Amino acid sequence: MSKHVIVIGAGFAGLSAATSLAQQGYQVTVLEKNEGPGGRARVFRAAGYTFDMGPSWYWMPDVFEQYFARFGKSVADYYDLVRLDPSYQVIFKGPEAVDIPARMTELRALFERFEPGSAVQLDEFLRQAAYKYEAGINKFVHMPGRSLLEFADPRLLVDAVRLDLLQSMHKHVRKFFKDPRLLELVEFPILFLGATSENTPALYSLMNYADLALGTWYPMGGMHKIVEGMAQLAQERGVRLEYNTPITQIVVEKGRATGVQTTKGFRAADVVVAGADYHHAEQQLLAPEWRTYDENYWQKRTMAPSSLLFYLGVNKRLPKLRHHNLFFDEDFSLHAHEIYEEPQWPSRPLFYACAPSQTDPSVAPEGCENLFLLVPVAPDLDDPEETRERYYHLLMDRLESHCGTSIRDAVVYKRSYAHQEFGQDYNSYKGNAYGLANTLRQTAILKPSLKSKKVSNLYFTGQLTVPGPGVPPSLISGQVVAREVQKEN
């Protein structure tokens, strides 16, 4: 009889791990505390609007295609993917609104307009970023990060040098570009990684390759269509999905997990994979003697940001908006400093506005706009209602100015979401939204281990372990942990 694996959490990493293990012949049950799958990528519907609750950027389409191909499927079997053009809009200081084109010829022309000679520089910048993407996404992120011996292959050491792990992103991009608008454009993807560009390895220019070369995409119906596809695929492979089933304890006897205690009773297992928040799973679900890390260890970790979110239903269409809109009309470096260096609510916040109804009429009533506003903020902050309201009006002032029309009086549905909800819904450590920061000291073997050092059949997956935060890395994390389970069980 095949071994039974319990996976805690039905987020991207949990579903990926569960489906991969089922393909390997295990009996797999996923236990999820919330009412449906997706984790931070859940969906809710209100007043005729469909709101993706978390991730809204679809980058690295090859990672998703490779995932479904592992099971003999294609992305197209589960959702309709379209490429956005323009990829997104950036509102710089001035304000100056600029569309970022999907076509490389047009993108080169845009760079050249901002800074003569920068088109050729962009070619070289993306050539190096393409190498980092190929080596990083197809080699390094698939390593379990449990031993330095994983990097003993001389070819990997050569790769590691060329990946610019010891050079900062700040220094790297300034070798190519001088115009402040171009610098903000190439540095913005790392705003969510958990450190300033001065403290982020230049390796992460691979994000620019994903952005500018591979493009920005959208699954019609919303990002939750990915989750629905993954959940359907899991069930097709025999995975049992159970919702509204919070875990209260990982039960350990003589150094082995025997199962989990839920609010509905005990569930036996031969292997347990925790896809829930790592800190919660270890510090709250395990007895002290079975924890690999203590609370002091976690206090010293550098967390990626949290977010203040607003989900808005607007009863009219909004001119001048694109699907994705980045408001960089305030000081970029100051905002990053107030997230990472002196954590506080930002004094002059940057923000992101997503209007999926610009692309997809199914997410809002006819003639209306679906709006998702996001301010990246430091984790572990108090977020009372008055603070949320103050930021709501700061954002709306700038959004109305850009659109040239009133918006607040057209809002027929409004919901805010921040640290408190991240903690309540996902047991998120310090209310973070994006997991553990991708700093050099928290990379690969320096991340919390995907395998418990004290419980022989307990594993961890998701954005607080390897390879790191983001949807594609979480997808890969589930596959990596599944391989480790198979090797050892």
Taking alpha carbons only, the member of 420, 472, 217 closest to residue 323 is: 217
Cα angle for residues 60, 471, 346 (degrees, 5° grid): 105
Peptide bond into 95 cis (omega under 30): yes
CB 349 within 8 A of CB 309: no
Q: What is the pLDDT of residues 328-361, one digit of tens each?
A: 999 999 998 899 889 999 999 999 999 999 999 9
Distance of CA 476 to the CA centre of its chain: 12
- Average pLDDT of the segment spanning 478-485: 98
Q: Which of 140-154, 258-272, 349-363, 472-486 is the least confident region?
A: 140-154
- Average pLDDT of the segment spanning 56-84: 98
pLDDT band at 159 (very low <50, low <70, confident <90, very high): low
Q: What is the pLDDT of residues 166-181, one digit of tens each?
A: 889 999 999 999 999 9
**Alpha carbons 151 and 79: distance in angstroms, whole number:** 37
Q: What percent of the chain has pLDDT over 90?
A: 87
Whose tokens are 């269509």? That residue is 225
CB 204 within 8 A of CB 470: no
Q: Report the chain's mean pLDDT, rounded to a whole number.
A: 95
Taking alpha carbons only, the member of 33, 6, 10, 36 closest to residue 21 is: 6
Instruction: For residue 44, list its beta bridge partners.
Output: 51
Q: Which residues of 210-221 are buried (b: 16+ CB within 10 A; e: fewer)?
A: bbbebbbbbbeb
> Is the pLDDT at 160 greater than 70, yes or no?
no
Identify the pLDDT of residue 190: 83
Taking alpha carbons only, the member of 361, 285, 282 closest to residue 323 is: 361
Q: What is the pLDDT of residues 223-237, one digit of tens each?
A: 999 999 999 999 999
Taking alpha carbons only, the member of 15, 54, 44 closest to residue 31 is: 15
Peptide bond into 86 cis (omega under 30): yes
Helix (H, G, I), strand (E, B) or coil at 300: coil
**Alpha carbons 486 and 489: distance in angstroms, whole number:** 5
CA dist list (Å): 293 to 95, 140, 179, 380: 48, 24, 45, 20
**For domain 4-37+222-301+438-488, which architecture applies?**
3-Layer(bba) Sandwich (3.50)
**Alpha carbons 285 and 279: distance in angstroms, whole number:** 9
The secondary structure of residue 366, as a DSSP letter, is T
CB 191 within 8 A of CB 211: no
Q: Which two tokens stand for residue 10?
A: 């039905």
Sign of torsion over alpha carbons 330, 336, 337, 343: positive
CA dist list (Å): 383 to 193, 268, 418, 422: 21, 39, 7, 11
**Alpha carbons 410 and 305: distance in angstroms, whole number:** 30
**Alpha carbons 267 and 250: distance in angstroms, whole number:** 10
Identify the pLDDT of residue 158: 59
**Alpha carbons 242 and 323: distance in angstroms, whole number:** 34
Alpha helices in 274-378 (DSSP H): 278-283, 295-299, 332-340
Q: Which two tokens stand for residue 189?
A: 């993807």
Taking alpha carbons only, the member of 460, 472, 475 closest to residue 145 is: 460
Torsion of CA 282, 283, 287, 289, to 10 degrees: 80
Please provide the DSSP assignment of 403-458 as one string. HTS--GGGEEEEEEE-HHHHHHHH--GGG-SS-B---GGGSGGGSPPSB-SSSTTE
Identify the pLDDT of residue 152: 59
Q: What is the pLDDT of residues 283-324, one digit of tens each?
A: 999 999 999 999 999 999 999 999 999 999 999 999 999 999
> Is the pLDDT at 151 greater than 70, yes or no?
no
pLDDT band at 155 (very low <50, low <70, confident <90, very high): low
Helix (H, G, I), strand (E, B) or coil at 103: coil
CB 374 within 8 A of CB 418: no
Q: Which two tokens stand for residue 270?
A: 């031969």
- Exposure on the CB side of residue 48, measured as CA atoms within 13 A: 13
Residue type, 78: Y
> Is the pLDDT at 462 greater than 80, yes or no?
yes
- Average pLDDT of the segment spanning 386-405: 98
Domain boundaries, the chain: 4-37+222-301+438-488, 103-213
